[in-house]
Amino acid sequence: MPVTRQAPTPHGAASPAVAFARIPAMVIVAAMASVALNLLVWFAGSRMGEMVIGRREVALFSVIGAMAGGAVFAALGRWAARPVPRFTLLTVVVLVLYAFGPPSAAYAPYMEGAAVFNMTTVVATEVMHLVSGACVYLALTRGAVAR
């Protein structure tokens, strides 16, 4: 039986409990879905113009995002009174902040040795951020909560 923690809300109703034992499996699901879908976005973008990021970068950062999301979800499940609503809010905030990254990379490289993004790469990476965020959010909030 998965370890869960159900926290009371101010109105007396309980927020969904986090099923800690399911988080690793849901992170793997989120990572696999994110990698697969983001590579489809990459291939679609490469058909429309040059992509200045590689497939390996797309896959690597998709997995890193899923792992980070799982760690945050577990931490919120452990320490937050209402982990799922807090994770929802945090997901939205992170995606809004990530929206500024690709346009910034069109003016200056995002890391040493990287190329400046062209418009195709900016649009594709914006879509990839949304895809990754959706994969992580849905996998964790649907698959790692006690029912």
User: Structure pTM?
Assistant: 0.86
Residue type, 123: V
Where exactly are the structural domains of the chain?
A: 20-143
| 28-53: average pLDDT | 98
Residue type, 120: T
Distances, alpha carbon 139 to alpha carbons 10, 34, 46, 100, 146, in Å: 27, 10, 28, 25, 13
Of residues 147 and 55, which shows the higher confidence score? 55
pLDDT tens track for 6-29:
555 454 456 678 999 999 999 999
